[in-house]
Amino acid sequence: MNENLFASFTTPTMMGLPIVILIVMFPSILFPSPNRLVNNRLISLQQWLLQLTSKQMLTIHNNKGQTWALMLMSLILFIGSTNLLGLLPHSFTPTTQLSMNLGMAIPLWAGTVVTGFRYKMKASLAHFLPQGTPLPLIPMLVIIETISLFIQPMALAVRLTANITAGHLLIHLIGGATLALMNISTSVAFITFIILVLLTILEFAVALIQAYVFTLLVSLYLHDNT
């Protein structure tokens, strides 16, 4: 209980050097490329989930939008596996760092915006001024729409960071409370432990849902610009 509440969110180091790059690269080992004529059950399940997700996410896109399929699938796999690995004891979750999430959100958002201005210039500019706007409100609405456009990557990053961080903090607090209550009241400690187990199951679901939401929003931004 004397441990700092935010100690698990500090960047891990080895011999004074940050090892975030190694942690970020680790999930790629969990998804090997198939090299057999007949795949095993794990690879078959992985391919089925990828096909199901890509089919659901790419049905709204035209041919230009579907060229982002590899990027979107890689994104959801990376965020989902990173979130799940972060639930292991004494592990580090890169997606709790706002800087990293901004590093993912800003380039992807900028890519969708540039794509929109390249292929749909008139439609992209039309988003800044809704049809039928009164003349005196035009400058104000243009400013508001411009601000809302630039807030999109910040919203992506903050949403992912806040949800993952909040779940880890709750698990840390309830786990510490369970240990403290074991010497005071066994029955209350058992109830708290059940709550901790249910919360952990919920966090596994949140880890996957947040990966899907992040990728889905990027996909919707892409759909609006292609």
Query: pLDDT tens, 3-15?
Result: 566 666 666 666 6
* pLDDT the model gives residue 1: 45
State the pLDDT confidence band at 2, using cuts at 50, 70 and 90.
very low
Least confident of 79-83, 124-128, 183-187, 190-194: 124-128
Task: Inform me whether the pLDDT recorded for 25 exceeds 80.
Answer: no
| Per-domain residue ranges of the chain | 7-225
**pLDDT at position 20:** 64
Q: Please, is 187 exposed, middle or buried when counting C-beta atoms within 10 Å of its C-beta (0-12, 13-18, 19+)?
A: exposed
Interior CA angle at 98 toward 26 and 144, to 5°?
A: 135
pLDDT band per the 50, 70, 90 thresholds, residue 179: confident
Residue 77 scores a pLDDT above 70: yes
- Other beta carbons within 10 Å of 88: 9
Band the pLDDT of 73: cuts 50, 70, 90. Answer: confident
- Confidence check: pLDDT of 19 > 70: no
Average pLDDT rounded to a whole number, residues 65-90: 84
